[in-house]
Amino acid sequence: MNAPQTILYDTQSSRGPAAPVEEDMLRKNSKRLSIARLLLIVLVVYVHFPLDVPSVRDIGELSILTPAYLANATFLRFSVTILTIMSGFIMFSKGSDLEGMTTVSKKVKTILIPFLFWNISLVALLFVAQSAGLLSGQRLDLVGASWQTWADALFSYSTRPVNYPLYFLRDLFVISVLAVAIGRVFRKYPVPLIVAFMVVAEYNLDGHLILRTPMLPAFFIGGAIALWRVPLDKLDSGFWVFAAMLLAMCCIHYFWPSQNNGTYIAILGGLTIWTLTARLANGPFADRLLMWSKYSFPIYLMHGIAIFAVLAVGFTIEPTIFGLLAWLIVPLVVAAACAVGFRVFSMVMPKFASFVTGGRGA
C-alpha cells in the first residue's frame, strides 16, 4: 500500500487545498532537517559560551585563540537565522498558517510554555541568589529592579531575558502568530511581503515586537522555499565549494568586517550546513545523529542554565593551548550534559518533562 501523501496548499490561492503534490518535501527531508537542527543548536551552544573576542583584529598579531575568536565572530552567528528559515519552511510546508487558532494553541504549547518555564525558573534562582548577596553585577539585577527590568527578565519585553538564549523562542512565537494572521495573503504575494519585512528589519520598524528583527524576513523566506517547492537537493554536490567559500568569507569578515559580509556568511553557512546533512544522513553515524537529534530542543532550552552554572564557578577561557582545547570541548560537553540530564528528567517525570518541552524530546 502506498504511503499517504501530505496535502500542500496552492501558493496562488487562499481557497483551500490544491491537489496533493507528487512528493512530500517535508517527509522527504525530515532526516536532514533533524540533523541540521542538531548541528545548528550545538553551534548555538558554542556561540553563547562567553569568549572575549578582540575588537581590534590585526592579521599580523595572531594568538592561539584566533580560531576560536574567528569562529565566534563569524560562522557561529548564522545558526539562529538558519533555524528561523527552517521554522518557516516547516510551518508553510504543513499548511499550519491556514489553521488559525489551532496553530496558535499549538504554538502556545510548543514554544510559549517552554519559554516561560525555562526562563522563569532561572529568574527565580537568580533572584534568590542576588537577595542572598550572590551573583551581583549580572546583566539584569533583580533586587529592587524596576517594572521594565522585571518585564525584561521574565518575558523579554525589550531585551534578552535572564535565560538569554530563549529570546529566540519569544520572537519565534510572535512571528508564528503573525504568520497565521497573514498566511493567506503571504501565499498570494510572498515577494512583496518579504521585501517589506526586509525593510522592517533594516530600520527596526517593529520596535520591541521582535527583538532579533532579521528573524522576520528569514522566517518568511523559509515559507517561500516551501511554497515554491524549491528542490533542496539540487545543490548537494556543492558542499566543498560552499565550505571553502564560507571559510574564505569568515576570514575576510573577521579581519576586515563589513555589514554586508554577515549576510554572505549566513547564506553560505546555510548552504554549507544543508549540503553537509546530505552526507551525514547517508553516512555511518546517521542513526546516532538522529538519536541525539530528538534532544535538540531540550539542549536549546537548558544550555543557557548550564552555561550560567559553568560561569558561576569562575570558569574562563585563557589564551593558551589548554584554553583553545577547553573552548572546543566544554560547549560540546554542555550540550551532551543537557541531553543526558533531560533524558534522566524525562524518565523520572515523563509527563512534566513533555509538558515543559512542548511535547518534544520526552
User: Mean pLDDT, 10 residues at a time, over the chain (362 residues)?
Assistant: 39 39 72 96 93 81 90 90 95 93 96 96 89 72 88 92 93 97 96 96 91 94 93 92 95 84 87 96 93 95 90 83 94 95 94 92 58
Smallest Cα–Cα separation from 309: which of 54, 134, 73, 117? 134
| Cα gap 261→264, rounded to integer Å | 5
Q: Residue 334: count other Cβ atoms within 10 Å of its Cβ.
A: 24
Q: Residue 77: count other Cβ atoms within 10 Å of its Cβ.
A: 19
Smallest Cα–Cα separation from 93: which of 29, 188, 12? 29
Q: What are phi and psi of 17, to 5 degrees?
A: -70, 140
pLDDT of residue 7: 37
Check if the beta carbon of residue 287 is closer than 8 Å to that of residue 258: no
Smallest Cα–Cα separation from 336: which of 42, 77, 51? 42
pLDDT of residue 4: 38
Residue type, 271: L
Determine the Cα angle at 236 with ends 231 and 237, to 5°. Answer: 135
pLDDT of residue 37: 96
Locate all alpha helices (DSSP H) within the chain, ordered by sequence. Answer: 25-28, 30-48, 66-73, 79-94, 101-107, 113-131, 147-155, 167-188, 190-203, 215-227, 239-255, 259-281, 286-293, 296-312, 321-348, 350-355
Q: What's the half-sphere exposure (Cβ side, CA atoms, 13 Å) at 336?
A: 6
Q: Given CA atoms 144, 149, 151, 154 in this order, what sign does their dihedral have?
A: negative
| Cα gap 162→141, rounded to integer Å | 10
- Residue 21 to residues 3, 7, 26: CA-CA distances in angstroms? 13, 7, 11
pLDDT of residue 11: 38
For the record, the C-alpha cell of 282 comes out as: 547517508
SS3 at position 9: strand
pLDDT of residue 59: 79
SS3 at position 179: helix
Q: Annotate 5-38 with b (16+ C-beta within 10 A) or e (fewer).
A: eeebbebeeeeeeeeeeeebbeeebebbbbbbbb
Q: What is the dihedral of CA 179, 180, 182, 187, to 10 degrees?
A: 80
